[in-house]
Chains A and B, each alone.
Chain A
Amino acid sequence: MSMRNTALRRPLAVTAVVGWIALTAAVAAAPEGPKLGKPLSQADIAAMDINVFPDGSGLPSGKGTALEGKAIYDAQCAACHGPKGSGGSAGELAGGSALDGPHPDQTVGNYWPYATTIFDFVRRSMPLNAPRSLSDETVYAVTAYLLYINGLIGETTEMNAKSLPEIRMPNREGFVRIWPNSR
Chain B
Amino acid sequence: MIEDHPLTNDHLQSVAGGGLLDRRLFLRQSLAFGTGASLLLAGMDATGAELPAWQKTPGAPFSNYGQPSPHEKEAIRWVSGNGSATGNGISWTPLHKLEGMITPNGLHFERHHNGVPQIDPDRHRLSLHGLFRNPLSFSVEDLLRYPLVSRICFVECGGNSNAGWHEEPIQTPVGYFHGLASCSEWTGIPLSTLLDEAGLEPDARWLIAEGADAAAMNISIPVEKALDDTLIALYQNGERIRPENGYPLRLILPGWEAVLNVKWLHRLQAAREPVMARNETSKYTELQPSGKARQFTFLMDAKSLITQPSPGYKLRGPGLYQISGLAWSGRGKIRKVEVSADGGKSWAEAALQEPVLAKSFTRFRLPWRWDGSPLVLKSRAIDETGYQQPERAALVAERGRNGYFHYNAIVSWAVAPDGSLSHVYA
A and B physically associate? yes
**B-contact bits for A38-81, CB 8 A (1 contact / 0 none):** 11100011001111111100000000000000000000000010
Judging by beta carbons under 8 Å apart, are B215 and A124 in contact?
yes
Among A36, A48, A54, the residue within 8 A (CB) of B267 is: A48
**B-contact bits for A83-104, CB 8 A (1 contact / 0 none):** 0000001110000001110011
Residue of A nearest to B147 (CB): A31
B 110-136 contacts with A by CB, 8 A: 113-114, 127-129, 134-136
> Which of B169-177, B240-248, B282-290 touches A?
B282-290
- Is B13 located at the chain interface by the 8 A CB criterion? no
- Whole-angstrom CA separation of A52 from B274 in the bound complex: 10
Among A30, A36, A111, A175, the residue within 8 A (CB) of B192 is: A30
Judging by beta carbons under 8 Å apart, are B271 and A36 in contact?
no
- Whole-angstrom CA separation of A36 from B85 in the bound complex: 40
Judging by beta carbons under 8 Å apart, are A112 and B295 in contact?
no
- Is A1 located at the chain interface by the 8 A CB criterion? no
A-to-B contact residues, CB < 8 Å: 20, 23-24, 26-40, 44-45, 48-55, 80, 89-91, 98-100, 103-104, 106, 108, 111-114, 116-117, 120-121, 124-125, 128-129, 131-132, 174-180, 183
9 contacts between A and B (CB under 8 A): A33-B194, A37-B138, A38-B138, A39-B134, A53-B273, A99-B287, A104-B402, A106-B287, A125-B215
- Whole-angstrom CA separation of A176 from B145 in the bound complex: 42
- Is B222 located at the chain interface by the 8 A CB criterion? yes
Judging by beta carbons under 8 Å apart, are A39 and B135 in contact?
yes
- Whole-angstrom CA separation of A114 from B280 in the bound complex: 11
List chain A residues, Cβ under 8 A from B88: 128
- Is B311 located at the chain interface by the 8 A CB criterion? no
- Is B214 located at the chain interface by the 8 A CB criterion? yes
Among B214, B216, B269, B294, the residue within 8 A (CB) of A178 is: B294
- Is B179 located at the chain interface by the 8 A CB criterion? no
B-to-A contact residues, CB < 8 Å: 82-85, 87-88, 113-114, 127-129, 134-139, 142-143, 145-147, 149, 189-190, 192-198, 200, 202, 208, 210, 214-218, 222-224, 227-228, 267, 269, 271, 273, 275-278, 281-282, 285, 287, 289-299, 331, 402
* With contact pairs A104-B402, A179-B299 given, residues A31 and B277 touching in the complex (Cβ less than 8 Å): no
List chain A residues, Cβ under 8 A from B196: 27-28, 30
Judging by beta carbons under 8 Å apart, are B195 and A30 in contact?
yes
Judging by beta carbons under 8 Å apart, are B292 and A117 in contact?
no
Judging by beta carbons under 8 Å apart, are A179 and B216 in contact?
no
Judging by beta carbons under 8 Å apart, are B281 and A112 in contact?
yes
* With contact pairs A40-B135, A44-B137 given, residues A121 and B287 touching in the complex (Cβ less than 8 Å): no
List chain B residues, Cβ under 8 A from A30: 190, 192-193, 195-196, 227
Residue of B nearest to A23 (CB): B227
Q: Which 9 A-B pairs have the closest CB atoms?
A: A37-B136, A100-B291, A30-B192, A36-B142, A26-B227, A124-B216, A40-B135, A99-B291, A121-B278
- Whole-angstrom CA separation of A183 from B297 in the bound complex: 8
* With contact pairs A54-B276, A175-B281 given, residues A49 and B269 touching in the complex (Cβ less than 8 Å): yes
Cβ of B259 to closest chain A Cβ, rounded Å: 14
List chain A residues, Cβ under 8 A from B142: 36-37
Judging by beta carbons under 8 Å apart, are B189 and A54 in contact?
no
- Whole-angstrom CA separation of A104 from B216 in the bound complex: 28
* With contact pairs A30-B195, A33-B193, A35-B197 given, residues A45 and B129 touching in the complex (Cβ less than 8 Å): yes
* With contact pairs A177-B295, A178-B297 given, residues A125 and B216 touching in the complex (Cβ less than 8 Å): yes
List chain A residues, Cβ under 8 A from B289: 100
- Whole-angstrom CA separation of A57 from B293 in the bound complex: 25
Judging by beta carbons under 8 Å apart, are A51 and B208 in contact?
yes
- Whole-angstrom CA separation of A177 from B290 in the bound complex: 15
- Whole-angstrom CA separation of A30 from B88 in the bound complex: 37
List chain A residues, Cβ under 8 A from B278: 117, 120-121, 125
List chain B residues, Cβ under 8 A from A31: 147, 149, 190, 192-193
- Whole-angstrom CA separation of A120 from B286 in the bound complex: 21
User: Which of A51, A52, A98, A114 has the most CB atoms of chain B within a 10 A radius of its CB?
Assistant: A51
* With contact pairs A53-B273, A175-B285 given, residues A38 and B136 touching in the complex (Cβ less than 8 Å): yes
Cβ of B135 to closest chain A Cβ, rounded Å: 4
Judging by beta carbons under 8 Å apart, are B291 and A174 in contact?
yes
List chain B residues, Cβ under 8 A from A112: 281-282
Judging by beta carbons under 8 Å apart, are B215 and A178 in contact?
no
